[in-house]
Chains A and B, each alone.
Chain A
Amino acid sequence: MQLTGAQALVRSLEQQGVEVVFGLPGGTILPTYDPLLSSSVRHILVRHEQGAGHAAEGYAWATGRTGVCIATSGPGATNLVTALADAYMDSVPIVAITGQVSSAMVGTDAFQEADITGITLPITKHNELVTDADRIPAAIAEAFHIASTGRPGPVLVDIPKDLQQAQMTWSWPPAMALPGYQVPGDPDPAAIAAAAALLHAARRPVLYVGGGVIKSSAHDELLRLAELAQAPVTTTLMARGAFPDTHPLALGMPGMHGCYTAVAALQEADLVVAIGARFDDRVTGRLADFAPRAKVVHVDIDPAEIGKNRVPDVPVVGDARAVLRGLADCLSALISEAGPPDTAGWLGVTDSWKRRFPLRYAQAADGPLKPQYVVERLSMLTGGDAVVVSGVGQHQMHAAQHFSFTKPRTWINSGGLGTMGFAVPAAMGAQAGRPGELVVAIDGDGCFQMTAQELATCAIERLPIKVLIFNNGFLGMVRQWQELFYEERYSSVELGTTIPDYVKLAEAYGCVGLRCDRADEVDAVLDKALAVTGVPTVVDFRVHDREGVFPMVPAGRPNDEIVLGPEFSADEQRAATRRELSAR
């Protein structure tokens, strides 16, 4: 059958099972927008291509399926760059399709020409400039295969306009030609046996769980392993929700703004089992001082992560789900032979730390509103039954710390790249992927203003997200660093709380706008926001501008130097630093 390249592209997306794409048309992608009009694929017209990129990411985070964004050449394509870099850092499966100037014009500095495959080379898992219309189905099939398998990531396919218009011979499925791409197979049983033996013998084990566990849907296997091993579990910023925060073995988040118990447990552990985590600097603090007493088992699907930052005692290359299942089976056999692991003393220690050094903040009844309080109320009022999306900064840390996550794919944020402005468009994508479910963006006022234009898209496309702005009038995390490390010299960090008027802005975008600045009104305002149907809702929470994020390990310092924060006494800080290993 003869089709145009554009028809073949759209039909390839249909064959891949794509239900929704996010995009914005322009000159060189116009041929593709014509068959898209009569396709079963839903196209959501964004207001800025960056929004399309983050929406594709939010969709992928929320559903586990590959997100798709479309843009024209030149500025359309370059506007996707931040989202591609973000997806690369956080291993999010998205496919970006860009128009390119016609083949004969490539390289001539034609109108709206940009070398987008060159530009995105270091921030994509793979990219391709298609040079033959007959290759379009194969290029799309390969892009989806590469994006979604192994360690997931973004793939960009750049298609010149003349190839979209050219006639080609359609056939599906196309033959994929990827001789250099192999997804790791079954994990090595010997490595799993060695890891299980270490876990059985450990007295102070910690499971250090990263985003890979969510990506491989390994949460049930993780729960089984943790309970068999009686090992406490810490979930990184990428893995919140992989293990229920309500479980007695849960330690919360590790790292720079992690819970004291999670940070301290890693420092004292005799065995760290890292699963789908990459020993990121925000988790390890000064690398040389991280988990100094621990043997390390490192499970990852990407062989290049193993040994990159910390050399493990037992490396296991493989899919987290298969490895966790194998580990649990092996450990179960060891337990039947030799009894359960002896970790009772260790759990007594971690429980005493949890009691003595919890997350702490002070919300006075008539004092300034604390962001942590809003997160806790949201968590309570929704029963944790919400998809929470955040931007980057203080509000992100407060949300990650204080929301009680119990299920995977209920927490979406920008971890590795730290992209301000991620929340609104990512929430839009999450809502498109999970219609009918509650999607709440917790955003800062600085972040919100970077991508707020997508509220128009949400309103018109009936994507009723809730956006809770934690409005402190500052780039709060920057302000906190200037306070702590730059002698309170607040350079270019104040945004002001009243411009724009977020309630009016929300209304201008066809959304419901609400405001709250008192703790005793939080529940009523949240109830009101949660009751809105059909249109997006924006709540301007006027929160305390001096509130910091604690605990905190100063950047580049050892995790042993964790600072509990102003709500703890000097005696408590000393006790925390000493880290008594007897349960109290």
Chain B
Amino acid sequence: MSTHTLSVLVENKPGVLSHVAGLFSRRAFNISSLAVGPTEDQSVSRMTIVVDGASTPVDQVAKQLEKLIRVLKVVELDEDRAVERELALIKVRAQPALRSQLLEVAAVFRANVVDMSPSTLVLEATSSPAKLDALLAMLEAYGTCELVRTGRIALQRGSATITESFLGVSADAEPAGPAESAA
């Protein structure tokens, strides 16, 4: 599946999420995942929306999103030039005899054990979506009881930011040192 990642800056106001979600249903666009949270500016939230490029015209999605009054900026991230991460919590069956095997798998994928019971483990894994899929495929053999994923979040690599023009934050600007801000 060819996916596209859109970073969307929105005003942090009531109803914004329903405006964005409503647009997708109204225009019959498919969302693969949507993650939303605050940014370095309290008045602005950032959504990371993943759409399936095969069923949804990404260019139209971006243009229609731009038309929403509360949407400040829409940027399609180039997947080769962006850092993309997703967090998953996975409850997996772990009979004592298989536990050490499971821990080896977890170690390979740099997943942490965050809870344990006589018959299960909860793993926490943060990685690119593809690696996460690979981990889940490996765990399938042991029996996954419950799974929750956050949806993808992403940032462009390098010093460029998409927030400069709205938040007045530039990665290249010299930050005020702790001494100055204390003065």
Contacts and interface: CB of A to CB of B under 8 A. Distances in A.
B15 A179 contact: no
A304 B63 contact: yes
Q: B26, B69, B73: which has the most chain A beta carbons within 10 Å?
A: B69
B15 A117 contact: yes
Interface stretch (A121-129, A341-349, A361-369): A121-129
A362 to B, nearest CB: 45
Given A122-B22, A180-B70, A304 B166 contact: no
Contact of A304 (B26, B66, B71): B66
B60 interface: yes
B22 A121 contact: yes
Interface size class of B (residues with CB under 8 A): 20 to 34
Contact of A122 (B14, B26, B67, B166): B26
B59 A307 contact: yes
B72 interface: yes
A180 B60 contact: no
A304 B59 CA distance: 9
Interface residues of A, number: 19
B11 interface: yes
A179 B60 CA distance: 21
A173 interface: no
Nearest to B25: A122
A382 interface: no
Contacts of A129: 14-15
B181 to A, nearest CB: 27
B68 interface: yes
Nearest to B11: A180
B72 A179 contact: yes
A131 B71 CA distance: 20
B19 interface: yes
Nearest to B74: A180
A308 B57 CA distance: 9
A308 B64 CA distance: 10
A304 B19 contact: no
B98 to A, nearest CB: 49
Contacts of B59: 307
B159 interface: no
A129 B14 CA distance: 9
A131 B14 contact: yes
A169 B63 CA distance: 38
A179 B166 contact: yes
Contacts of A146: 69
A298 to B, nearest CB: 13
Interface in A177-224: 178-181
Interface string A25-46: 0000000000000000000000
A131 B66 CA distance: 25
A47 to B, nearest CB: 31
B18 A121 contact: yes
Interface string A219-240: 0000000000000000000000
A280 to B, nearest CB: 16
Contacts of B73: 180
Q: Which of A117, A178, A179, A180 has the most CB of B within 10 A?
A: A180
B38 to A, nearest CB: 17
Nearest to A126: B69
A303 B74 CA distance: 14
Contacts of B72: 179-180
B69 A303 contact: no
Interface in A267-316: 302-304, 307-308
B66 to A, nearest CB: 7
Contact of A180 (B22, B64, B71): B71
A118 interface: yes
Contact of A302 (B67, B68, B71): B67
A278 to B, nearest CB: 13
Interface string A139-150: 000000010000
Contacts of A128: 15
Contacts of A131: 14
A179 B14 contact: no
Contacts of A302: 67
Nearest to A142: B69
Nearest to A303: B63
Contacts of A181: 69
Contacts of A126: 69
Contacts of A308: 60
A131 B14 CA distance: 10
B58 to A, nearest CB: 12
Interface in B1-58: 10-11, 14-15, 18-19, 22-23, 25-26
A180 B68 contact: yes
Interface in A145-182: 146, 178-181
A145 to B, nearest CB: 10
Residue among B10, B22, B63, B71 with max Cβ neighbours from chain A (10 Å): B63
7 contacts: A118-B18, A121-B19, A121-B22, A125-B69, A179-B11, A180-B73, A308-B60
Given A125-B69, A179-B72, A304-B67, 11 more contacts: A118-B18, A121-B19, A121-B22, A126-B69, A129-B14, A131-B14, A180-B11, A180-B68, A180-B73, A302-B67, A304-B64
* 8 tightest Cβ-Cβ pairs between the two chains A and B: A304-B63, A122-B26, A180-B72, A126-B69, A121-B22, A181-B69, A180-B71, A304-B64
Interface of A: 117-118, 121-122, 125-126, 128-129, 131, 146, 178-181, 302-304, 307-308
Interface of B: 10-11, 14-15, 18-19, 22-23, 25-26, 59-60, 63-64, 66-73, 166
